[in-house]
Structure 1
């Protein structure tokens, strides 16, 4: 290991050990934030820290000025976050218990898959942590927005966002394309079937999801042979491609896939619109609706790519 890397790694480990020692000392001494958090539990939080890219974005949309203090580092990644530019206004965290604790939040927002040790330790320290499940439908998105509004004391703002979402979905429903079948296909030959947010997006677009039609649920692999034999009317994949060859994306360079993509109307939907549920998820619906309309008007496949 190069000397500089070794020194940096050693320093990082020492910092983590110090942070954990500090937390354990505070726990042993009973110096919790329980008193402050307990009295503020029924009030709107004043200093909020989010540790999950989905709660990051939802909080950025709902929170009042100055209410949200910190978001996760993923919130600033334009490939992952729709609100990457907005995220620059907030302090960045990496989901470590010690760094979050030292920010002295009166509320921490986390996803249900956020590191369990971090969530557990923060709660032991008396910090209020609210966890959000991943959204798999637009009803889930509405429920999460309203819950965020309740937690932050911003119910009116949350309702406005729900209305914005419903307006976009209503416009998409005005132009159904049920006769068109669409296949979603991502790295490692994965597709999204019933019970996923992507399936909800496809359904809201008035299209038929090939994966659901084949009886697939959740995120599963769809063999290239089945995809080619199914001959979908439209093909959706992520526009992202690795800079160097990777086994995860070997299907995209396969001759059979190339031939299918050339013969089928193809639309690239950036993953950031479907990773998390929010009003911006309707942008993915709009992309598919526009691509389907173009496909129907042309009367043939032809690489439609908004």
Structure 2
């Protein structure tokens, strides 16, 4: 009799545990979206400005209001800004700090120790890698639907204008002789525009310095300048006015492109890539017309 009772009890317990295993875990109350978001640097500014409600933004970096570096200056107008110091950011009373690869590590570490929630947005080297970051940031700040909409629209836009063939070569040349080769957002944007990166073809990865003589010996079809600021002269920028660059045997004239679109990979990068693709198309068509008898 006892044996039969134990068997019956075991069956009941197994059935009960099975029911518990199948039961859904209790739902947590929805997390309240942050109401005082502070972006630490220029790159994260672009995500916050693109995705957050204006009322949610407690502060952005000073660079986020510079038309040379920021593609979303109009949205930044009137917002509080900071120079990146931890004291300034703390005084803004953030309930979420958005930081990234180029943020000051000591500042972020201090903010974290103070118990301020941190959202890290990593630096990426491919345009298509921006879209998951858009969705991640949007989810964290309580703007899921907006993030999905913007990411999907940008993804479709990229597919529509991307060129799947190498139409010409290009090389970005910055003050001080700095260039960007393979494994960089500049390289990927150029590829989307149908340009082969001459710097990458020379074996350079990421950011490096390239002697002017070597660039002249292997001239690209497009010499791309993105950092020319006549109102802020410097010794390194004078290199961009070097007579040798003006006399380079390039097939086409120097092409100026806004640095704000690819200083780091952000939502506006897609717009910049489309602009570059359209400019290359126009230059190629003009060159063909000039060659016609």
Instruction: Indicate the TM-score class for this superposition, using the shorter chain for normalisation.
Output: 0.7 to 0.9
Separation in 1, partners of 2:105, 2:32 = 26
Q: Assess if the C-alpha contact under 8 Å between 2:33 and 2:140 holds in 1.
A: yes
Which residue in the other structure is 1:26 paired with? none
TM-score normalized by structure 1?
0.78
Unaligned 5+ segments in structure 1 are 1-38
**Aligned residue pairs: how many?**
263
Separation in 1, partners of 2:134, 2:246 = 40
Which residue in the other structure is 2:18 paired with? none
Q: Assess if the C-alpha contact under 8 Å between 1:52 and 1:114 holds in 2.
A: yes
Separation in 1, partners of 2:233, 2:41 = 30
Change in 2 beyond 3 A, CA 1:41/1:76: farther
Which residue in the other structure is 1:247 paired with? 235
Separation in 2, partners of 1:200, 1:224 = 23
Separation in 1, partners of 2:232, 2:108 = 36
Q: Which of the two has higher C-alpha Rg?
A: 2
Separation in 1, partners of 2:210, 2:288 = 24
Q: 1:275 aligns with which of 263, 270, 289?
A: 263
Which residue in the other structure is 2:74 paired with? 85
Change in 2 beyond 3 A, CA 1:156/1:41: closer
Q: Assess if the C-alpha contact under 8 Å between 1:164 and 1:279 holds in 2.
A: no
**Range that drifts further, 88-97 or 69-78:** 88-97
Which residue in the other structure is 1:207 paired with? 195
Q: Assess if the C-alpha contact under 8 Å between 1:265 and 1:301 holds in 2.
A: no
Separation in 2, partners of 1:74, 1:65 = 18
Unaligned 5+ segments in structure 2 are 1-27
Deviations 1:18-45 (A, max 9, x none): xxxxxxxxxxxxxxxxxxxxx9994321
Instruction: Spell out structure 1 runs of 4+ moving beyond 6 A.
Output: none
Which residue in the other structure is 1:144 paired with? 133
- Match runs of 1:1-306 below 5 Å: 42-173=31-162, 175-238=163-226, 240-243=228-231, 246-260=234-248, 264-299=252-287
Once the 2 structures are TM-superposed, how far is the Cα of residue 246 of structure 1 from its aligned partner?
3.2
Deviations 1:2-26 (A, max 9, x none): xxxxxxxxxxxxxxxxxxxxxxxxx
Change in 2 beyond 3 A, CA 1:77/1:116: same
Which residue in the other structure is 1:34 paired with? none
2:203 match: secondary structure: coil
TM-score normalized by structure 2?
0.81
Once the 2 structures are TM-superposed, how far is the Cα of residue 241 of structure 1 from its aligned partner?
2.9
Deviations 1:52-102 (A, max 9, x none): 111112111111342222111111111111111211232212222223223
Once the 2 structures are TM-superposed, how far is the Cα of residue 232 of structure 1 from its aligned partner?
1.3
Once the 2 structures are TM-superposed, how far is the Cα of residue 148 of structure 1 from its aligned partner?
0.3
Which residue in the other structure is 2:16 paired with? none
Once the 2 structures are TM-superposed, how far is the Cα of residue 295 of structure 1 from its aligned partner?
3.0
**Range that drifts further, 217-226 or 262-271:** 262-271
1:299 match: secondary structure: helix
Q: Assess if the C-alpha contact under 8 Å between 1:237 and 1:269 holds in 2.
A: yes
